[in-house]
Amino acid sequence: MISYDYDILCFGAHADDVEIGMAGTIAKFSAEGKKIAICDLTYANLSSNGTVELRKEEAAKAAEILGVSERTSLGLPDRGLFLLEEYIMKVAEVIRKYKPKLVFAPYFQDRHPDHGNCARIVEEAVFSAGIKKFQTTGNNEPHRAKNVHFYMINGFHHPDFLIDISEYMDKKIASLNAYESQFVKNDEGVDTPLTNGYVETVESRERLFGKQAGVQYAEGFKTKNPPLLNRDLLGE
């Protein structure tokens, strides 16, 4: 029987990816007592605004708002997330460390190449982490997650399933607002799509997903293995 230490492990290419895609879901399951971890693959050091240290502070604040148990970063190269054995191994080590029931990653189709590449690395790592003879430099005890799902960042795709986040949309907005360096326009910063109503666009997307499901707000997910309808997302 597989033993799970964490209920959910979320991967993102950059700090704020996970919040854009599924902060409401994280807040919801955290409020229900689920144990959740976030792993950012890079320090987002090529971001047009902010600094690495400021982004770390903002990420920690966002994680606290959402009730995340632990957040870490692998420090892989920003705009250098390619499907390399070294990166797959590092992500597999994280999976073996946290032993999650579910893994989440960005959806493959996104305007930012790092997001799709993050998904490919994570998908490979999830498979490799469950292979007994796959060696890493850390914990070599194999772990097989129950499922992998994909959240949306910049895209608006037809979801395979929706999660009602109506009671947690305020938490999602608060977690995004924690990234002031990314989403707030100021005289010293660079004008980017993120500083021009991006948070409002995300809110509108979740409102549209909610309308599809007959609720106020929902987050949409893609998956290769849809969950059973007679069981909740964590299979309990």
* pLDDT single digits (tens) 12-57: 999 999 999 999 999 999 999 999 999 999 999 888 887 999 999 9
Q: Where are the domains of the chain?
A: 6-223
Model confidence pLDDT, tens digit, residues 92-148: 999 999 999 999 999 999 888 999 999 999 999 999 999 999 988 877 799 999 999
Q: Whole-model pTM? A: 0.93
Burial of 70 (0-12, 13-18, 19+ CB in 10 A): middle
* Mean pLDDT, residues 137-163 taken together: 92
Given a contact cutoff of 8 angstroms between Cβ atoms, the answer to whether 128 and 84 are in contact is no
Instruction: Give me the pLDDT at residue 224, please.
Output: 87
- pLDDT tens for 60-98 read 999 999 999 999 999 999 999 999 999 999 999 999 999
What's the CA gap between 148 and 9, in Å, rounded?
10
Give the CATH architecture of domain 6-223: 3-Layer(aba) Sandwich (3.40)
List, in order, residues 6 or more apart from 96 with CB less than 8 Å away.
Answer: 129, 136, 138, 139, 140, 141, 142, 143
